[in-house]
Amino acid sequence: MIFAVFPVFPSAGRRVTGWAARCVLGVCFVYLGLNKALNPGDFLKAVHEYGIVKQSLHLTWIAAVLPWFEVFCGVLLLMGIWVRGTAFSVLGMLLFFSALVLHRALRLHEASGIPFWEIRFDCGCGNGPVLVGRKLVENTVWAAVSLALVLSRKR
Amino acid sequence: MVCVMSLFLETAKVLVIGLAVALLANQLSPKGLMLGRDYFKESTRPLARKSPSEPSSSHRVAELSNEQVWSLFQDPGYREGRIVFVDARKESFFLEGHIPDAYPLDRFYPEKDLPAVLVAGLPAERVVVYCAGGMCEDSHYAALQLIEAGLEPSRVQVYAGGITDWRSHSWPIERGVRGSGLIGHFPP
């Protein structure tokens, strides 16, 4: 559907763009998901730092399941299975995680006075401590790619 | 409308099958978390405090300064096993460098190391637990695991500065497994 807005792209170009988009997003989710899944203790601590889940057992379940779910979504995207549904799930996760990261960054910014774009912490995103501003820009790009896949024509 | 319905149906399939696969993967993974375990469990036993005025917390164990830790390290009791150091970081960090003769205890996978730490810690007069230092709380939670496993709370303390502080003083570091003998003053 979104590609219909840009009719200048030939259909072969659309197919290649769609294939490339899901492959890049898929590789990204597999890589970041595996980083977390293979170091679940680090991910558990990062989630705990957000302070939004009060029940420790719920934290354990989130840290145990979420990374592998990301890997699963990444594999589905790479294999081209249920692309729209997977991209919709990925979009939901990206929006939710970005809101959490933004909320925590704003709290840190208020508490410490560090300029927002210089705030750096381990957001539990799978690649250690990162600059929050950069992470949010990255997530916005991934969210746009996911949205494009959700709106793409079902083949 | 049909398009939206099919999108939601597909998303539901991804969520249901994905969560089932994720649970299975966690169970099969050697690094998987125990779903029934509370990794931020607070102490059920009263903890020692440095002073009566110190605020009470059910997960923070009494802390030692770097001078106190260095003094314990040089104490003959350390060589005799009356003082025991426990490293609460991940195994990979432990192998990169730890306080000489410290026992590893990854608090997320205690089954592996806890028996050896208890054998050394139960008869010891002092057990000092450390992690990376700074914001790291693994040492406190590992100390709580030891206390819950039977160590006397008054004998378990945490080195607040952790390995970061230890390295900043250029104090000796042992590389590899415990007792490897690869001891030196390695830069951070």
Of A62, A139, A22, A87, nearest in space to B14 by CA: A87
Q: What pLDDT does residue A123 have?
A: 86
Confidence of residue A9 (pLDDT cuts 50, 70, 90): very low
Convert the pLDDT of each residue in B105-115 to its tens digit: 999 998 889 99
Convert the pLDDT of each residue in A38-53 to its tens digit: 999 999 999 998 888 8
- Residue B185 above 90 pLDDT? no
- Residue B20 above 80 pLDDT? yes
Q: How far is CA B53 from the centre of its chain?
A: 27
- Residue A3 above 50 pLDDT? no
What rounded mean pLDDT belongs to chain B?
Answer: 87
The reply to whether B16 touches chain A by the CB within 8 Å rule is: no
Which chain B residue lies closest to A154 (C-alpha atoms)? B3
- Residue A72 above 70 pLDDT? yes
Distance from CA of B139 to the nearest CA of A (A): 13
Number of neighbouring beta carbons within 10 Å of residue A100 = 15
Confidence of residue B89 (pLDDT cuts 50, 70, 90): very high
The reply to whether A56 touches chain B by the CB within 8 Å rule is: yes
Cβ contacts (< 8 Å) between A64 and chain B: which residues?
Answer: 22-23, 26, 32-33, 35
Interface test with B, best of A43, A45, A78, A153 (most B CBs within 10 A): A45
Q: What pLDDT does residue A87 have?
A: 96
Cβ contacts (< 8 Å) between B145 and chain A: which residues?
Answer: none
Packing angle, helices A11-37 and A40-50, rounded to 10 = 90
Domains and CATH numbers, chain B: 63-184 (3.40.250.10)
